[in-house]
Structure formats: C-alpha cells, structure tokens
Amino acid sequence: MGLLTLQNQTEDDDFALNACIENARNVTHILKAVHFKDTATVFATENGLKVTVEDSKCIQGNAFIQDQVFQEYSIRDEALTFQINLDILLECLNIFGSNNSTTTMRMMYNGYGTPLVLMLEEDGAVTDCSIRTMEAEETLDFEFTAANVVNKIIMKADCLREAFNEMDASSEVLQITMSPDPPHFRLATFGLLGQSHQDIPKNSDMVEYFECNETLTNRYRLNLLKPSVKAVNLACKVCVRVDHRGFLSLQHMIKNENGQICFVEYYCCPDEEFDEPAT
C-alpha cells in the first residue's frame, strides 16, 4: 500500500532521478557506514548511487547502492552529481525509525540546483523532506588499480572487528604488515603504554583468500582509519588490499535486510615517515 500511495503523488512529475525503496533502512544502513563527515558527494548513474565522503584529503569512503536495491530506479541523464549534508539526510531517513515496521521511501532529484526530495511513509503517516543540495566538488582519485595491488587478503569481518575493538586508542598510528611469510597479517600499535600487535595467520579459519607477494609494512593514521570501523561493524566480509605505494583499500561486503549485497569501500593513504621518530 505504501508504495502505491507514494506513486500516485508523483505520477505526473518527471524527475531526473526517481528511486523508490520499500525498506528505507537498506539505504540508511549503508550510508551510516560512511558517515564520518557531514558533507557527502552523491553520484547517480544508471547502475545506482555512489556516496563519497572524504576527510583531510587522506581518506575516502565510498558507499555503493546499486539500482537493484531499489524497487524502482530511473535516471534521465547519464550521470548526476551533487553534494548533500549527510547528517541531515540520515536524520530524515530515520524520522520514523521504529524497528518493527518498515518505512517506504521515494527519492527524487531534478538536477542541478534543485533540492533532494524524500517522501517517507510508515503506518499512514507521511513525511516530506526537501534537502538543499550543494555544488559537487571534485573528489579525490587515489589511482588505486587492481593491477598495482601487491597484497590482498579477504577475511571475515568478525576478526577485524575484534581487532579494531581491542586496539590501543592512545596510539597515533596503526602499522599494517602483510607478508607471504609469517606473521602474514599483523596490526601493530604504538601507544602510551607500549607496543602491541595482533596477528592473523593465513591458515586461520577467518581468512578466506590470501595472496601476498611481498612483505609490505605501512603506517596509517589511526584517527583516519577509525571511521572505517563503522563499516566493519556492519560488514560480513572485508577485503584488505595494499598497492605498491602503500595505499590501503578496505572493501566491506554488507548484506542488507533483503539479503542483497552492497559494498562500502575505504581508501587511505599511508603516513609519511618524517625524520623525527613516530611515537
């Protein structure tokens, strides 16, 4: 019933982007995984939506919501790009927010300079939101290509989640070692109370795929990597990749309530070594 009522209201309008989903939580869920900054850039193509969030020009989170996730998805132009306040978008999506019933959502956008219109319905109550969009700025290109990947491990998210939870938060950096020889995969921190490291050997049950060609050790700012914990918490599997420059890519496989799989990807650049020793 929900979908129908929302449909009738929009029949006559022809929007540049028009998407409808029976369970708005499937969208909310994925967006939460990249919610570490207020401003997000949305790219819409015929394949779906990509939502990009960046911080300090060093880390980028991308959430992909493919068109199949929506019950209805149509786009007039080839590609649409706009910036939006993610905080507000999530508040609006979550406006009914009860866990027992589902919110139906229709999302409409009519091109440059127009607001993003959301229509949400739950139990006969309807919410209309109109969120101002902003001009899209260029997003970072990490030039991370599969051909340059040196080491790659796919593992269950559980073990990475635990590793992140137990990590020493007083450390400024996280050192990731990936190697064909033991310890295979090592997360090390250097905190106020000393060093600690966690190893995951390649024959562990948690590791599903292991392909390491070289021993690479790189440091990443822990506070930059922290937002990716949000994605790890929702994911079922994580693919960790490092390229020859030490750039890190974390791909999170997230299952939504309909059993569909969505991806959230994080790129992070390594911490440059300076003369003074890192603490």
Partner 1 sequence: MRFRAKVVNIDCIHHFTNVVNTISKLLKKCSIRLTKEKMFFILPDQVANGGVSMWCELKQANFFDEYRMDGVNEYELNEIYLEIVAENLCRAIKSANNAKSLKIKLTKKQVPCLTVEIELPSLSSTARIVTHDIPVSVIPSSLWGEYQEPEMPDFHVSLCLPPLKTVKHIVERLKNLSSYLTLSGNQEGDFALKVETELVSATTRFSDLEIPPYDPDGDSQAPSKLWPPSEMASARIDVKKLLQFLAGQQINPYKVICNIVDQSAVHFFLVHDDISLQYFIPVVAV
With H, G, I as helix, E, B as strand and everything else as coil, classify residue 243. Answer: strand
Per the listing, tokens 């070289």 go with 214
- The residue among 82, 95, 83, 85 whose CA lies nearest residue 128 is 95
In the region spanning residues 121 to 160, those forming contacts with partner 1, defined by CB under 8 A, are 123-132
Closest distance of CB 70 from partner 1, Å: 21
Using the rule CB under 8 A, which residue among 14, 46, 77, 91 binds partner 1?
A: 91
- Which member of 3, 55, 74, 96 binds partner 1 (CB under 8 A)? 96
Residue number with CB closer to partner 1 (74 or 85): 85
From residue 97 to residue 116, what is the string marking binding to partner 1 with x (rule CB under 8 A)?
xx------------------
Determine if 83 is a binding residue for partner 1 (CB under 8 A).
no
Stretch that binds partner 1, among 15-23, 117-125, 147-155, 175-183 (CB under 8 A): 117-125
Task: Select from 54-62, 96-104, 157-165, 205-213 the region that touches partner 1 (CB under 8 A).
Answer: 96-104
> For partner 1, which is the closer residue by CB, 133 or 177?
133
Question: Which one of residues 95, 150, 207, 229 is an interface residue with partner 1 (CB under 8 A)?
Answer: 95
Name the minimum Å distance from CB 227 to partner 1: 20
- Tell which residue, 65, 3, 2, has the closest CA to residue 34: 65
If we measure between CA atoms, which residue out of 237, 263, 271, 248 comes closest to residue 34? 263
Contact 70, 22 (CB under 8 A): no
User: Are 65 and 20 spatial neighbours (Cβ–Cβ below 8 Å)?
Assistant: no
> Toward partner 1, which CB reaches closer, 10 or 94?
94
Q: How far is the CB of 188 from partner 1 (least distance, A)?
A: 39
- Looking at the Cβ atoms of 123 and 143, the one nearer to partner 1 is 123
Question: Toward partner 1, which CB reaches closer, 125 or 278?
Answer: 125
Strand partners, 268: 59, 248
Confirm if 172 and 278 have CB atoms less than 8 A apart.
yes
Q: Which pair of tokens denotes residue 212?
A: 């390491």
* Helices within 109-189 (DSSP H only): 157-165
How many C-beta atoms lie closer than 10 Å to residue 188's C-beta?
A: 20
Q: HEC states along 57-82?
A: CCEEEEEEEEHHHCCEEEECCCEEEE
Q: How wide is the angle at C-alpha 68 spanned by C-alphas 15 and 240, nearest 5°?
A: 120
In the shown chain, the binding pattern of residues 204 to 243 toward partner 1, with x for contact by CB under 8 A and - for none, equals ----------------------------------------
92 vs 239, beta carbon nearer partner 1 = 92
Nearer to partner 1, 96 or 142 (CB): 96
Q: Which helix (H) or strand (E) holds 264?
A: strand 261-268
Q: Which stretches of the chain bind partner 1, using CB under 8 A?
A: 85, 87-88, 91-92, 94-98, 123-132
